Amino acid sequence: MVTLEGMMRSAILAAARSPQLEQLVSAAPVSRSVVRRFVAGTTTEDAIDASRALVHDGLAVTLDFLGEDTEDAGQARAATEAYVELLGALGAAGLTPPTEVSVKLSALGMLLDEKLASDNVLAICRAADAADTTVTIDMEDHTTTDASLDLLLRVRKDFPETGAVLQAYLRRTEADCRDLAVAGSRIRLCKGAYDEPESVAYQSDLEVSRSYVRCANVLLAGGGYPMFATHDPRLVAILEDRVRWYDRPVDTFEFQMLYGVRPVEQRRLAELGYAVRVYVPYGTQWYGYLMRRLAERPANTALFLRALVGR
């Protein structure tokens, strides 16, 4: 059934791909506080400051240098260098661990040349290894899933701790969880943030949540390290029950949430003794990221539109 919320979500996700709208929104005097709520800032220093504050509050961090769909080898190299610089600075600041990085393959040149993206990921993994921390490879739309998982398996030969992301809205994901729930395998399970066709993805919230729970069970029954990325209160409650059912010690899994989303819940879970990691984006290319966050929650759109018109 097509709901108003579903239509809004599709419209916002279409807007996320519109260069014209991107120019308009980026040029508008968008209230800094709206972008700042979800994005830590534009520079390496901003990323380090945000990480330090979160670590001080007992949270772990994964940093995302914003950028996607790079079709230029120079830009992909620049993104790689930004990560290498960041990891060096994080190590020097004594923040690794508990701070790691998340990378988008499309930002590292995957649309251009898989070898280039793979070389860039390996360069970032080497810098992460030198700083005693890890890399997680974000997952993008379903047309990239196979290539992303292939690349992950190649990277894991040298850097076995490299994390992967699986999206519960994809019909294939339960099977992918079975394949990847092996000893040492770090897997972030999320609902999925792209507009996907019914042929490959569950469409209703209920179906996606049910798939999430099935996948969580598979991951918890296996030997890997599940990273449960969700803000959904019902799923968090189910996961708290499931980790007890599987007798999982608190150092064998973690919860993950986005910067600026349910910060009180992040701290509540950490105070209960769970490992909680906050996904912190930074950089100037915040547009696509922000639009996906707005699509997840129409209430945020009203906040954003008010800021756009300066109210």
User: Is residue 258 close enough to count as binding ligand FDA by CB under 6 A?
Assistant: yes
Residue 307: closest CA among 38, 28, 40, 10: 28
Instruction: Tell which one of 44, 80, 230, 266 touches ligand FDA (CB under 6 A).
Output: 230
**Runs of H (alpha helix) within the chain:** 4-16, 19-27, 32-38, 44-56, 73-92, 114-130, 145-158, 173-180, 205-221, 233-245, 263-271, 287-296, 298-308
- Who's near 81: CB < 8 A, 6+ residues apart? none
In the region spanning residues 198 to 227, those forming contacts with ligand FDA, defined by CB under 6 A, are: none
Specify which residues 161 forms β-bridges with: none
Residue 138: closest CA among 264, 8, 288: 288
Tell the smallest beta-carbon distance from residue 114 to ligand FDA (Å). 18
**Which two structure tokens, joined as six digits, stand for 171?**
């019909």
Q: Candidates 16-24, 127-135, 189-197, 218-226: pick the segment binding ligand FDA (CB under 6 A).
A: 189-197
**Which two structure tokens, joined as six digits, stand for 178?**
């079975």
User: Is residue 151 close enough to count as binding ligand FDA by CB under 6 A?
Assistant: no
Contact track, ligand FDA, 83-122, x by CB under 6 A: ----------------------------------------
Tell the smallest beta-carbon distance from residue 203 to ligand FDA (Å). 14
Q: What is the DSSP letter of 132?
A: T
Residue 12 and residue 295 in contact, taking contact as beta carbons nearer than 8 Å: yes
Give yes or no: 72 in active site. Answer: no
Rounded Cα distance, 144 and 167, in Å? 12
Per the listing, tokens 């972030």 go with: 188
Q: Candidates 41-49, 126-134, 190-198, 214-222: pick the segment binding ligand FDA (CB under 6 A).
A: 190-198
| Residue of 186, 188, 277, 293 with catalytic role | 188
Instruction: Tell which one of 156, 186, 242, 293 touches ligand FDA (CB under 6 A).
Output: 293
With respect to ligand FDA, which residue has the nearer C-beta, 117 or 229?
Answer: 229
Give yes or no: 138 in active site. Answer: yes
Tell the smallest beta-carbon distance from residue 102 to ligand FDA (Å). 7
Coil vs helix vs strand at 182? coil
Give just the sign of the alpha carbon dihedral 216, 56, 138, 6: positive
Instruction: Tell which one of 65, 194, 253, 287 touches ligand FDA (CB under 6 A).
Output: 194
User: Is residue 261 close enough to count as binding ligand FDA by CB under 6 A?
Assistant: yes
Q: Candidates 15-23, 111-119, 127-135, 289-297: pick the segment binding ligand FDA (CB under 6 A).
A: 289-297
With respect to ligand FDA, which residue has the nearer C-beta, 20 or 33?
Answer: 33
**Which two structure tokens, joined as six digits, stand for 10?**
């599709």
- Who's near 175: CB < 8 A, 6+ residues apart? none
Tell the smallest beta-carbon distance from residue 261 to ligand FDA (Å). 4
Instruction: Tell which one of 192, 222, 281, 283 touches ligand FDA (CB under 6 A).
Output: 192
Rounded Cα distance, 291 and 268, in Å? 27
Tell the smallest beta-carbon distance from residue 228 to ligand FDA (Å). 9
Tell the smallest beta-carbon distance from residue 92 to ligand FDA (Å). 25
Q: Which residues bind ligand FDA (CB under 6 A)?
A: 138-139, 165, 167, 188, 190-194, 229-232, 256-258, 261-262, 279, 293, 296-297, 300
- Residues marked active site are found at 138, 188
